Amino acid sequence: MEDSAAHDAATRLAEAAARLKAGAQPPPEVELETLERMAHARVEVRGARARLTELEADLRALLAGPGAAGSSASIAAVTTVAELPLLASGKVREMYDLGDEILMVASDRVSTYDVVHPTPIPDKGTVLTGLSHFWFERTVHICPNHLVSATEAVPEEVRGRALAVRKLDMVPVECVVRGYITGSGWKDYQATGAVCGIPLPDGLKESERLPSPIFTPATKAELGDHDENVDFERAVEIVGDRELMEELRRLSLALYGFALEHALERGIILADTKFEFGRDQDGRLVLADEVLTPDSSRFWPSEGYEAGRSQPSFDKQIVRDWASGTGWDRRPPAPPLPEDVVERTRGRYLEAYELITGEPFDAWLSRSGTPE
């Protein structure tokens, strides 16, 4: 891009942002439709800005030259929050120390086949954080959770993509619930007719809905390895407390049942999900981590669902299809994503947010105080 063209684009972007900002408090006679258009425009501007950041990263990688081996693999940078100690870092998120609390930050990084792509999906982290926040607020009647705030103690630079949560003593078991037979559950069922020691009816087809949801605990494997499914008795051994394990099963099934029904009414099949729990200072059991997001669950579109084959992922299918089409062998590094794949995937995340919550994505940006 020519220097002057880039300057013009930046100016137009800044002007558009200023106009949106100026219109943030419209007069009461403004029509709802106008408000909605503004909300969408705001999201569009965010997308454009993120895309500029991304292009800048691409440019830096290009300037580094083909000799800079693996340079593209590090473009989708780790989110760094100035002055906060990093507690832990996962494939697509980070955890910072706030003292008695933790700041959980969801990045825009996306993985397929367990490998993170160098290209971020703008707004993905914000969508996932908004979804987690939605579910935390709507499931307190089932189980207390670690959410403290999406604003208090959340630095400006990560507003919208971060939550301040209570620091807990984590239970070392992943609480997986499956309502449909797929993934490792489908593999285990085909080999043994059971999943995590739970016998299932004969003749189930891939992706078929189970007669009732099942609790299939797993243990966190060593870094890089897949989690291992375990039966209930093995989970009791690991945790060292049968009553605790029974309570985790009861809570997990209740949470999943509630969320599945909610999602089904809105066009999304929540095929399965993973919960994590911890104990607070008073020994109370608390729901933790991220909850019922597309990264901790399988979201399938209800439309076109049919047992007997694998289902497309609501959020990641576009990336997966494109990535397999390139002939990539699924070993790191993952290929950078083309612009249309990024944009269409971003649209799917926004759509998931709006379907599940029933509100425009812009409402979350406002509520969380996400800076323009």
> Which position among 45, 50, 102, 269 is part of the footprint of ligand Q0Z (CB under 6 A)?
102
Q: How many CA atoms lie within 13 A of 34 on its CB side?
A: 10
Residue 276 identity: E
Tell me the three state secondary structure of residue 110: coil
Nearer to ligand Q0Z, 172 or 338 (CB): 172
* From candidates 288, 292, 356, 365, binder to ligand Q0Z by CB under 6 A: 288
- Pick between residue 13 and residue 170 the one whose CB is nearest to ligand Q0Z: 170
For residues 276 and 253, what is the distance between their CA atoms, to the nearest angstrom?
Answer: 13
Q: Does 95 bind ligand Q0Z (CB under 6 A)?
A: yes
| Contact region with ligand Q0Z (CB under 6 A), list: 13-21, 82-90, 209-217, 303-311 | 82-90
Instruction: Select 60 or 284, whichever has its Cβ closest to ligand Q0Z.
Output: 284
Supply 44's token pair: 């569009």
Question: Rounded CA gap, 138 and 293, in Å?
Answer: 14
- Judge contact between 84 and 103, C-beta under 8 A: yes
* Cis omega (within 30 of 0) for bond into 332: no
Residues of span 154-173 touching ligand Q0Z by CB under 6 A? 165-168, 170
Total interface residues for ligand Q0Z by CB under 6 A: 17
Among 188, 289, 315, 362, binds ligand Q0Z (CB under 6 A): 289
| CA proximity to 156, closest of 78, 209, 83, 72 | 83
Site for ligand Q0Z contains 104 (CB under 6 A): yes
Q: Is the Cβ of residue 40 or residue 166 nearer to ligand Q0Z in the bound state?
A: 166
* 241 to 280: interface string for ligand Q0Z, x by CB under 6 A: -------------------------------------x--
Cβ atoms of 137 and 121 closer than 8 Å: no
Q: Which amino acid is at 41?
A: A
> Taking the complex as a whole, how short is the minimal distance between the CB of residue 92 and ligand Q0Z, in angstroms?
9
Nearer to ligand Q0Z, 249 or 274 (CB): 274
Q: Could you report how far apart the first and last alpha carbons of the chain are, in Å?
A: 25
Residue in 86, 84, 101 with CA at minimum distance from that of residue 288:
101
Question: Contact region for ligand Q0Z (CB under 6 A) — 24-32, 93-101, 233-241, 245-253?
Answer: 93-101
In the set 47, 51, 84, 90, which binds ligand Q0Z (CB under 6 A)?
90
Residue 211's H or E segment, with its range, is strand 209-215
How long is the chain? 372
Nearest to 314 by CA among 289, 287, 292, 291: 292
Identify the residue among 46, 109, 133, 146 touching ligand Q0Z (CB under 6 A).
146
Rounded Cα distance between 110 and 250, Å, is 32
Residue whose token pair is 């207390």: 144
Which backbone phi and psi does 258 adopt, to 5 degrees? -65, -50
Query: Closest separation between CB of residue 288 and ligand Q0Z, Å?
Result: 4
Dmax of the chain from CA atoms?
68
Span interacting with ligand Q0Z, options 91-99, 130-138, 156-164, 359-367, rule CB under 6 A: 91-99
Residues 167-206 that bind ligand Q0Z (CB under 6 A): 167-168, 170
CA-based radius of gyration for the chain = 22
Binders of ligand Q0Z in range 2-41 (CB under 6 A): none
CB 313, min distance to ligand Q0Z, A: 21
Single-letter amino acid, residue 301: P
Residue 125 contacts ligand Q0Z per CB under 6 A: no
88 forms part of the interface with ligand Q0Z (CB under 6 A): yes
Nearer to ligand Q0Z, 51 or 279 (CB): 279
Closest to ligand Q0Z by CB, 166 vs 320, is 166
Helix (H) or strand (E) holding 252: helix 242-264
Residues that bind ligand Q0Z in the complex, under the rule CB under 6 A: 88-90, 93-95, 102, 104, 146, 165-168, 170, 278, 288-289
